[in-house]
Amino acid sequence: MSEHLCDSERCATYWPLPDVDLTDLTLFSQGFPHDVFTQLRQNDGVLYHPATPLTPDNEGFWVFTRYQDIVPLARDIDTFSSHRGGARTGGGTMIEDLPSAAGPGTVINMMDDPRHKALRRLMAPGITRGRIAALEPVLTVAARQAIVSALTKGEGDFVSDIAAELPLFAIAHLVGIPPEDRHPISGWINAVLDYADRQLGQSSASSQQGMQQFMAYAQRFVEQRRQAPGDDIVSLAIAGELSAELGSLTPMEQVMVFSVVMVAGLETTRNAIAGGILTFIQHPQQWLLLQREPVRMNRALEEILRWTSPTPYNRRTATRDVDVAGKRIKAGEKVTLWWASANRDEQQFENPFAFDICREKNAHLAFGSGGHSCLGAQLATLEMRVVFRELLNHIDTFALNGPVEWVRSNKHTGIRRMPLRYKGL
Ligand code: HEM
What's the CA-to-centroid distance between 213 and ligand 1, angstroms? 23
Ligand 1: centre distance to CA 159 (Å): 20
pLDDT of 191 reads 81
Q: Tell me, what CATH number does 45's domain have?
A: 1.10.630.10
- Cα of 372 vs centre of ligand 1, distance in Å, is 8
DSSP E strands in 217-277: the ranges are 241-243, 247-248
CA 321 to centroid of ligand 1, rounded, Å:
28
Which residue's alpha carbon is at the smallest distance from atom 27 of ligand 1?
Answer: 265
Q: How deeply is 211 buried, as exposed, middle or buried, from its count of CB atoms within 10 A (0-12, 13-18, 19+)?
A: middle
Residue 143 lies in a domain: yes
* Ligand 1 centroid distance, CA of 264 (Å): 6
Q: Is the peptide bond before 312 cis (omega within 30 degrees of 0)?
A: no
Nearest residue (CA) to ligand 1, atom 1: 269
- Would 399 be classed as within a structural domain? yes
Strand, helix or coil at 366?
A: coil
Q: Walk along the chain (425 residues) in steps of 10 and give the mean pLDDT of each run.
A: 47 79 96 98 92 93 97 97 94 93 92 96 92 95 96 96 94 92 88 73 81 92 93 90 93 93 91 98 97 97 98 98 91 97 98 98 98 96 98 95 95 95 94
Q: Establish if 139 belongs to a structural domain.
A: yes
Provide residues with CB under 6 Å of ligand 1.
82, 93, 108-109, 120, 127, 260-261, 264-265, 268-269, 272, 310-311, 314, 339, 366-368, 372-376, 379-380
**Most ligand 1 atoms within 8 A of CB, residue of 129, 306, 374, 379 to mutate:** 374
Atom of ligand 1 nearest to the CA of 339: 10
| The ligand 1 atom nearest the CA atom of 314 | 16
| 34 in a structural domain | yes
Q: Counting atoms of ligand 1 from 1, which one is nearest the CA of 119?
A: 41
Q: CA-CA distance, 219 to 258, in Å (whole number)?
A: 9
Specify if 2 maps to a domain. Answer: no
Q: Which helix (H) or strand (E) holds 338?
A: strand 334-338
| CA 81 / ligand 1 centre spacing (Å) | 17
Give which of 32, 61, 71 is closest to 372, Cα–Cα: 71
Which atom, in ligand 1's list, is nearest to the CA of 272? Answer: 1
Count up the domains in the chain and report the number.
Answer: 1
- 331 in Cβ contact with 85 (< 8 Å): yes
On whether residue 170 sits in a domain, the answer given is yes
Q: What is the pLDDT of residue 13?
A: 59
Q: Which domain holds residue 119?
A: 10-424
Q: Ligand 1 center to residue 401 CA distance, Å?
A: 32
**286, part of any domain:** yes
Q: Is residue 5 part of a domain?
A: no
Ligand 1 atom with minimal separation from the 167 CA: 27
Alpha-carbon distance of 16 to 87, in angstroms, equals 29
* Closest atom of ligand 1 relative to the 82 alpha carbon: 16
Model pLDDT, residue 282: 97
